[in-house]
Amino acid sequence: MPALRNAGLYINLLNDFLDLFYPRVCISCNTALMKNEQFICYTCQYHLPKANFHKNLEDSIIRKKLLGRVPVFGSAAYYLFSKKTGVQNILHHIKYKQGKELANKIGYWMGEELLQTDWFKTIDGLIPIPLHPQKQLERGYNQSEEYCKGIQKTTDKSILPILSKNIYTKTQTKKKRYERWENVKDNFILNSDISTLQHIALVDDVMTTGATFEAAHNTLISNGYRGKISIITIAIATHLI
Ligand SMILES: [Zn+2]
């Protein structure tokens, strides 16, 4: 198929040409990417701090953070997050710069890791933490759902987008603006009956205090869910432990 081969050659030439004027750079360290690198350079991929507790749950920072608040079965995070690091650049890109594909890619890598654990095998579905509808409209995607899609590529687990934000409740109208926001930000609604499921994973981009997971957990429990809950994030904040 010489015509196809020629088309491939032209595409390569075009990419080289574009790289010359619009160099693709590593989202973590901002240096130019090599031809085979995508989003994150090999050096950063190797050196960025990985959370790595999915195989040894006794060391899970997610579990430690939620101790006494939420019973966590399995847990996993791809990166350890601290400010002014490449991981912060990655999270920023995913949130504000059309980082849909990157969230998906990290999900793919996380999925490869998760396949090596026993606790992940029994998961019936991945539940992405929802965004505020207005925010989702502006951004055009929910990064947690994109992360789920990447995990799904490697693990074939179902994605259950069944949580939504509860943005209008009667009691909030009387509250002051800040209190109202505090009340709203982690208030969820479950849109489907999952009481027959045995094991689900809540999935978010980054965990800092754990308040979001606590609220999501409470929503599931108050709606009759009695199965196991695991937690998977792109990154876990190492401060505030
Ligand atoms: Zn880099």
Say how many Å lie between the CA of residue 146 and the centre of ligand 1.
22
**pLDDT given at position 187:** 84
Q: With 0-12 CB in 10 A as exposed, 13-18 as middle and 19+ as buried, what is 172?
A: middle
Say how many Å lie between the CA of residue 37 and the centre of ligand 1.
10
Residue 34 has pLDDT above 80, yes or no: yes
**pLDDT given at position 175:** 55
Are 202 and 129 a contacting pair, CB within 8 Å?
A: yes
Say how many Å lie between the CA of residue 45 and the centre of ligand 1.
7
Q: Which tokens go with 76?
A: 């996993």
Mean pLDDT, residues 125-135 taken together = 93
Closest by CA position to 203, among listed 105, 84, 108, 107: 107
Q: Domains in the chain, start-ordered, CATH in brackets?
A: 1-47 (no CATH), 48-237 (3.40.50)
Least confident of 17-31, 46-60, 66-80: 17-31
Say how many Å lie between the CA of residue 48 and the centre of ligand 1.
9
Say how many Å lie between the CA of residue 29 and the centre of ligand 1.
4
DSSP type of residue 42: H
Considering only residues 73 and 180, tell me which one the structure prediction assigns the higher pLDDT: 73
The distance of Cα 28 from the centroid of its chain, to the nearest Å, equals: 17
Say how many Å lie between the CA of residue 50 and the centre of ligand 1.
15
**pLDDT given at position 3:** 63
**CB contact burial 9-27 (16+ within 10 A = b; e otherwise):** eeeeeeeeeeeeeeeeebb
Say how many Å lie between the CA of residue 91 and the centre of ligand 1.
14
Q: Which amino acid is at 212?
A: T
Say how many Å lie between the CA of residue 240 and the centre of ligand 1.
27
**pLDDT given at position 127:** 98
Say how many Å lie between the CA of residue 207 and the centre of ligand 1.
23
Digit-coded pLDDT (tens) for 191-207: 999 999 999 999 999 99
- Radius of gyration, alpha carbons of the chain: 20
Question: Which pTM does this prediction carry?
Answer: 0.85
Digit-coded pLDDT (tens) for 155-211: 999 999 999 987 754 444 455 555 544 554 568 999 999 999 999 999 999 999 999
Say how many Å lie between the CA of residue 12 and the centre of ligand 1.
23
Q: Which amino acid is at 66?
A: L
